[in-house]
Structures are given as C-alpha cells and as structure tokens.
Chains A and B, each alone.
Chain A
Amino acid sequence: MNVRFIFRQKRAKFFMVLLAYLISFVSFAEENNLKGRCSQADYIHVDCGNTPTSTFDRNNQLWVVFEKNGYLYVSASLNQGKSFSNPVRINATPEEIYTNGENRPKIAFGLNNEMYISWTKKTKGRFTGDIRFSRSLDGGKTFAEPLTVNDDGRITGHRFESMAIAKDGTIFVAWIDKRDNKPLPMETKKTDAKASTAMSSHNKMRHKKSGHTMPKQNGAIYYSYSTNFGASFHKNEKLAPSSCVCCRLAITARNDNTIAIAWRHIFFGSIRDHAFAIIGKQGVLQSPRRVSLDNWKIEACPHHGPSIAEDANQQLHLVWFTASEKRKGIFYGRLNAGSNEADNLINLSAAPSASHPYILSNQRGLLVVWKEFNGEQTQVMMVQSKDLGKNWSNISVLAETESNSDHPTLIGKGEQVWLSWLADKQFLIKEIERLNEA
C-alpha cells in the first residue's frame, strides 16, 4: 500500500514536472513564434505593431489602434486583452506615420460609439507633418477616407496632435503648428508666398539677436473641432504662440462641455515650463496661463509632454516632467479655475530616469504612472491618491521589462483602471488593483 502510494506520488511529481516543462516550452515556442511572425511584413497583430494605443468604447469593449508598414489598424478585445480580433485597416493608401511615444495615433469614441482615429502623417521635408483623421460609423468594420485637419495648405510642422471628445460629442483636435514660422532652408513648401513671410516679428527679433544660422522654430498651439461626427472640421484656430515643438499635448474633456489643454510652453528666455488653457466651440474660454514656475531654461527637445485629468469637482490635475535647477523629476500639481500656478505641488519622483508620467482620474481617486530605469530594468511605477492629490500612496512597481518599451498610459472603464504598455514587443493590458478603501 505504502509502496503504491509512494509510486503514485513519484508519478504525480513526474507528471507535474513534465507539465511544467511542457508549459514553459510552449510559452517559449509561442514567444519565439510571435517574434518570428512579427518579422513578416504581412503578419498584422497588435503585438507586432508600432505604438499601440488603447481605450474602452462606450460599451466597455477594449480597442487598440496601431501602425504597421504605413497603415493604421484597429483591433478589439472581448477578453480584456487576452486575444484580439482580426485587425481592420484604417487608411487605404499607406502613409508615413509618426509612431513614437510622444507622437502616436489616438483613438476615441463618440456618444453613439462612433470611432474616431487621429494621427500625424509625415510629409516632405524635416519636422513636418499633417494632422489626419478618420472615423468608423459601423463599429470598426469600415473607415472613412482620411481627411487633413490643418487647413493652411503648407508643408510645415503640424504635429503632435491630441484628441478629446467633449461632453456633447464635439470632436476637438489640438496640435503643435509651425505655420507662423519662416520656413527652414531645407523645408519644402507649397507656393504660398504669404505664409513664407509670416514669421512673427517676435521671432525675427530673437533670431537676429542670437545670430543663429537657422531661424527660430518655435511651435504654436492650434486646434479645430468637428460638430458633424468627424465628417469635416471647422477652421483652424490659434490658441497660443511659442510652444515647445517636440512634446505631446495633454488634453481632457471637462464636465462643463469645455476642453482643457496643457503643453510645454516657451516662456521668455527659453524657459520651457507648462501652460494650460480652456477652449470650447465658442473659442478660447480661458487664455493660456503658466502652470509651473519651474524655470527650466533649456534650448533643447525634452520630448516630455504633460498629462492632464479632471475630477468630479471640476478640478484639473496635471503631471509633468522638469529638470530645472529648482525642480527635477516628475511633478504633480492641482489647477484651480482662476489661479495661475498649480497648487499642492508634489515631487512624485526625483529619480534621474523618471519619465513620461500619465494621470487618470475616476470616482475612486487619482492614479499616476511613469517609467523609471534602474540600471537593468525599465519599470512602470505607480502612485494613487484618494483625496484629490493631497496625499499619495507609496510608489509601487506595476510592470517591468529588460527590453525597450513605449510610454505607459492608463485607460479607465467605470471604476476600473488599466495599464496599457508595449514592452519587449508585447502589448500589455493590465488591470490595476486599487488601494483598499479605508
């Protein structure tokens, strides 16, 4: 009896080891298989795409937009990212599409679950682009011919677009625009003599003073909106001059049907601190204000845009990166209507590698994620606040990789929050456990 029992135990152990071996072999083979398949040009999958960007639709279904070989695709998941539907192509004609952490395609949904996609198309010349938009009114089965949102007809910098859907369904798109600059020597331009002389006197003066061989190439913040479900867009409007040219814009729809935008501005003396403004269909509702007095004086590309979110009390919450003498690292600040500088300023991380923070607000509080590199691994760090940013939890590690990775973002579904992150050529969708409610 005992011998048989021992034998059974040994046999069970043997099968368990065998099973573990088989599982690890299958997952290893699957991983290698995926990497092999990704190298094939005709294999289209979210794991093999560039800068996958996700959101939940109005029915709480997960959607991801990604780029491969000049085409944008969308894919849906009914099982929270475990598997994805066959990708559907958005643009029928291939385009050179910007796909980096700061400048990536966006996906959003209208009130009746219309799917809206925006992206930046690379155009001829350097640092140039057009803001592109397409929609699907049949649940992602087919897409409309893409349209160009910028209306100046120039081949110049229209890049780093951001999109938000207002409470009433109006689609807002904002971007960094260089139409007001004198063209660079290498910049290709259409026959638009007026535009080529449209460099502002402010910029001319600064250029002359600095004696540089290239004209100053600050950006400006422009925006447009669509009230017909993306069939067309209104005339472009200028929100602010003199923005940094290589940092993503932060945009969020507010409960009062307005839109809040934050960006890295260039203040006098090459100070690259943040500004924010409120816009709506009526125009600019709150002119640009300085968010932070970090005083980061630098003539450089930080490639580090902010992130913004609004809570139920209509307070805005901003996270950003700075490296001034005074402040270094990832910062959080609360923006109140009427105030100039953000209050309740908190340094969430001063680690030299802390980068690309992203904030999400929902009924249960605020969540911020960012990336840090510890010498071996890139980690996604997270903090939470249950009292609208007054107090924050300890930092916890959400995910990590030893390979290259994209910027982390957060997406919400009711009270649930999910991390969306591409690391080691694998798209990760991970539900975030919240702090125990006290």
Chain B
Amino acid sequence: MKHNLFKLLGRFKALGFYLPLIVSVSYSGNISAIELDKDAPPKTLVQTIEAPSPSIKPFVEDSLKQIKQGFLDRPFVLLVWSIDCLPCREEFSVIRLVKEKYPLLNLSIIATESFSDTPQLSTILKEHQLLDQDNWAFAQSNSAKLRYSLDSGWYGELPRAYFYDAQHNRTGVSGKLHASQVITWINKVSNSMVNSSDE
C-alpha cells in the first residue's frame, strides 16, 4: 500500500518535472527586429526575447541546441552557476548592473544544481533580478553528462561564461566576469554587426 503510494507520488513528480518544459516549449515571445543603426548606442544592437517566461527550465542533453535556437542569428551571453558558488553571486551583481545599462543584452543562465532545487534557485535569481531571463537548471541524474554536453573541454569550475556572437561562435571564460569584459564584448558584437550590414 505504502509502496503504491510512493509510485503514485513518483508519477506526479514526473509530471511536475515535464510541465515547465511543456510550458516553455509552447511559449512564443515576440522577437524584436534587428536595428542596425550606426549612430545608435551599442545597446540597441543586442536583441532580446520580449518578456520571457519567469520560469526555470530543465536543462537536458540537447538543451544547448534549444538555447541557441532561441537566440538564432543573435549574440548572447551564457552564464553557468551554482548555489554554492559565491563568485557566481558576485557575477550576478555585475551582470545586473550591466543589464540595467544595456537592458537588451541577451542572457541565458544555467544552474548546475538539480532541477528539484528550483525554489532556491528562483529566490537567488529573483534577488539579483535575473529570474525573468532565459533560466535553466540541470535536470538529468548524470550531471557529468550535462557538463560534457555544454562543453567537453570545461573542467567544471564556476562561474563559467560563454560569449556567443551572432554566428554562435563562442568564447568560454572561467571565473567571475567584470563589467568591462561584458561591455567590451557588447561593443565588439555591435560593431561587427554594423560592419557586416555595411558589406
């Protein structure tokens, strides 16, 4: 009897696991048009998904593909963090400040914690005003496999960030990002988009 009850609970747990995935897949935000204005400040050159769903999605083996799909032809920054990583929180403070200055900066944020830690993850992301970004959390029992799917050459140190250009060529950076690094990158991708539109 007790065993059956656990089984039943397990099924509901499974539903709870997939529900946010179904919700996030069915969501279709408006993607703003690309505005390549040479005189405009760089921030207008980095597009974003409008009003993303404030939820954390389960990151599985092919989720990176899905993330890239979400930022098709657009540059974005991918941040990887964990609850037990103090520099990650410090990085969040930096990113929030940059985001205030460049609100259209595209971000995708992956927590290496288990998806079941969503309440705690949400609290931290909310504190740093990053819960409304494209958030993910590891959702497979083998975290080594997920780390590998993200980057087979990464040693696992956190925070880890990837700067993706519009063609989705990426540069990986380990350690806490500084505002100047992110702003330099924003200027770089903005300029390259301006130049490519000139050609």
Contacts and interface: CB of A to CB of B under 8 A. Distances in A.
A192 to B, nearest CB: 21
Contacts of B82: 301
A352 B6 contact: no
A235 to B, nearest CB: 28
B148 interface: yes
B153 interface: yes
A353 B150 CA distance: 12
Interface in A333-389: 352-353, 355, 373, 375-376, 378
B84 A127 contact: yes
A352 B148 CA distance: 10
Contacts of B86: 127, 217, 245-246, 301
Given A245-B86, A301-B85, A373 B93 contact: no
A269 to B, nearest CB: 12
B88 interface: yes
Contacts of A40: 2, 6
Interface stretch (B99-107, B137-145, B186-194): B137-145
A212 B96 CA distance: 12
Q: Determine the interface band of chain A, counting residues with CB < 8 A from chain B.
A: 35 or more
Given A323-B157, A355-B155, A402-B142, A299 B84 contact: no
Interface string B158-199: 111000000000000011100000000000000000000000
Contacts of A403: 141-142
Given A245-B86, A300-B87, A353 B93 contact: no
Contact of A404 (B2, B6, B144, B148): B144
Interface in A272-331: 297-304, 321, 323, 328
Q: Determine the interface band of chain B, counting residues with CB < 8 A from chain A.
A: 35 or more
A263 to B, nearest CB: 16
B152 interface: yes
Contacts of A299: 87, 90, 175-176
B156 interface: yes
Nearest to B144: A373
Contacts of B2: 40
Nearest to A211: B179
A246 B159 CA distance: 13
Interface of A: 36, 39-40, 100, 127, 186, 212-214, 217, 245-246, 270, 297-304, 321, 323, 328, 352-353, 355, 373, 375-376, 378, 402-405
25 contacts: A39-B6, A213-B90, A213-B97, A246-B86, A297-B175, A299-B87, A299-B176, A300-B85, A300-B159, A300-B174, A301-B82, A301-B85, A301-B157, A304-B156, A321-B155, A323-B157, A352-B153, A352-B155, A353-B144, A353-B147, A353-B152, A373-B147, A375-B152, A378-B144, A403-B142
